[in-house]
Amino acid sequence: MSTSSKVVKMRRTLLGYLPLESPMHKFHPLIKTFFLLIVSAYPLLIDPPEWNLIGAIVMIIIFVIARVPLRILKYYTAIMLNIFWIIFIAYTFFGGYMPGYHVITKIGPIIISWENIMMVFVIYLRMFFAILVIIFFLSVARERDVIVGIRALKLPYVIAYTVGLAFRSIGLSIIDFNTIREAEKARALDIKALPLAQKIKKFGMYIVPLVALALRRTDEVSNALESRGFKFTGVRGYKRTDYIVSKYKFQAKDYVAVIVMISILTLILYLKYFTPYMSLHNSILLKILSRFFEVKT
C-alpha cells in the first residue's frame, strides 16, 4: 500500500496555523491591521441584512483564497449560534414596544412585533459579518504583525511594546495556569470532575497562586527590560532603531489593497448617506420576511 502525503509548512498565527504558501504572508503586516480596522467598519455602516450576508459570503471566499483552514470556523459555530439565540430572545421577547410597531402576536404581557424581529436579522447578520472579519484577522496575523503594524504607523514605541507585552503576558499566564492546574491535580484537586457550583468555589485555588506568579513575573520582566537597555521614558539621547519594521517594505500590492479597502468604505458611506439603497425600507430580505409574517409596512 502506498500513500502520498505532501508536507505543508505552516506559520503560527494568533488563532492557529497558516500555510506558508498563503498569499497573506506576502502583504505588509500593516495591511492586516488595516484590514481589521477598515473592513470591520463595513458591517457597522451597513443596515440591510442581505448586504451583510453578501459581505459574510465574500469573507468566506477570502478565507479560501488566503488558504485559511475553514475548520477554524467550525470551532466558532457554537458561539455564533449562541449569539443568534441571545439576540433572537432579547429582541423578539424583550425588545420593547413603541406606538406604531406592527404587532404580530401577543404572549401574555409580551408583544411580538415585526420591528423587533427585523432588528434580530439586522443586528445578527451585522455581527456575523464582523465576527468573520475578526476570525480572519486572528487567523492570518501574528503578534509580530500587530506590533509591526503599530510601529509602522509611527505610534510611540511604548504603545507597540505594551501591546507586545500584553500578548506575552497571555502566553505566560497560560503556562502558569497549566503549571498550577497540574500541581493541584497531582494533589487530588481536579475541578473538571466537580459540579459547576463547586468549580466556581474552588476556582480561587487557581486564581490566588496565578496572581502571585503574575506579580513575580512582573518583577522579572521589569528586570529583563532594564537589563537590556529599555527605557519607558524615551530619554536616551538617541533614536531607538526600528529594526523589525525595516524588514518590511510597502509594495505596490499593499497600496492596491489599501486603495481597494478605502474605496469600498467610501462607496458604503456614499450609498448610506447619499442614496436610498442602504435603507431598511429597500431591503429585499426584509420585504420577503414581512410577507412571511404578513406585515404591511
Partner 1 sequence: MSNKPIIKITNLWWKYEGRKNWALKNINLEIYPGEFIAIVGPNESGKTTLAMSMNGLIPNNYKGFMKGDVIVAGMDTKKYSTGDISKKVGFVFSDPESQFLTMTVEEEIAFGLENLGLPVEEIEKRIKWAMKITGLSEEFLEKPPYELSGGQKQRVAIAAVIAMKPEVLILDEPTSMLDPIGKTEVLNVLKELKRSYNATIIVIEHRLEDIAPLANRMILIYNGEILKDAPPKEFFDDIDFLLKHYVFPPEAMVYIDKLRKFGIYEGSIPLTFDESVKAVRESIRGITK
Closest approach, Cβ 251 to partner 1, in A, equals 18
Task: Show the site string, 85-124: x = touches partner 1 by CB under 8 A, - = not.
Answer: ----------------------------------------
Q: Say if CB 39 and CB 261 are below 8 A apart.
A: yes
How far, in whole angstroms, is CA 261 from its chain's centroid? 18
Q: Is residue 182 within the footprint of partner 1 (CB under 8 A)? A: no
Q: How far is the CB of 243 from partner 1 (least distance, A)?
A: 5
We find the least distance from the C-beta atom of residue 37 to partner 1, in angstroms, to be 21
The amino acid that residue 244 corresponds to is I
CB of 273 to partner 1, least distance (A): 41
The Cα–Cα gap between 153 and 161 comes to 13
Contacts of residue 239, defined as CB under 8 A and 6 or more positions apart, other chains included, come to: none
Within residues 199-218, the interface with partner 1 by CB under 8 A covers 217
Residue 249 touching partner 1 (CB under 8 A): no
Q: Which of residues 136-155 bind partner 1 (CB under 8 A)?
A: 142-144, 147
> Given the rule CB under 8 A, which of 123-131, 171-179, 184-192, 248-256 is the region that contacts partner 1?
171-179
Is residue 230 a contact residue for partner 1 (CB under 8 A)?
yes
CA nearest neighbour of 43 among 278, 210, 204, 288: 278
- Using rule CB under 8 A, residue 167 touches partner 1: yes
Q: What part of residues 61-90 is at the interface with partner 1 (CB under 8 A)?
A: none
* DSSP bridge partners of 18: 11
Which position among 242, 271, 272, 290 is part of the footprint of partner 1 (CB under 8 A)? 242
Taking CB under 8 A as the criterion, the residue among 226, 256, 262, 277 binding partner 1 is 226
- Taking the C-alpha atoms of residue 261 and residue 265, their distance in angstroms, rounded to an integer, is 6
Answer whether 163's CB lies under 8 Å from 149's CB.
no
CA separation for the pair 214, 105 (Å, rounded)? 54
Instruction: Name the H helices within the chain.
Output: 29-34, 42-45, 49-65, 71-94, 114-140, 143-152, 157-186, 196-202, 204-227, 243-246, 252-274, 284-292
Residue pair 165/221 in contact (Cβ under 8 Å)? The answer is yes
Residue 170 found at the interface with partner 1 (CB under 8 A):
no
Contact flag: residue 172 with partner 1 (CB under 8 A): yes
In angstroms, rounded to a whole number, what is the distance separating the alpha carbons of residues 45 and 40?
Answer: 10
Asked whether position 26 contacts partner 1 by CB under 8 A, the answer is no
116: its cell numbers: 423587533
Please pick, from the candidates 11, 26, 201, 253, the single residue that binds partner 1 as defined by CB under 8 A.
Answer: 11
Which residues 257-276 are close enough to bind partner 1 by CB under 8 A?
none
Decide: 137 and 37 in contact? Cβ < 8 Å.
no
Closer of 144 and 202 to partner 1 (Cβ): 144
| Residues near partner 1 (CB under 8 A) | 11-12, 142-144, 147, 164-165, 167-168, 171-172, 175, 217, 220-231, 236, 238-244, 246
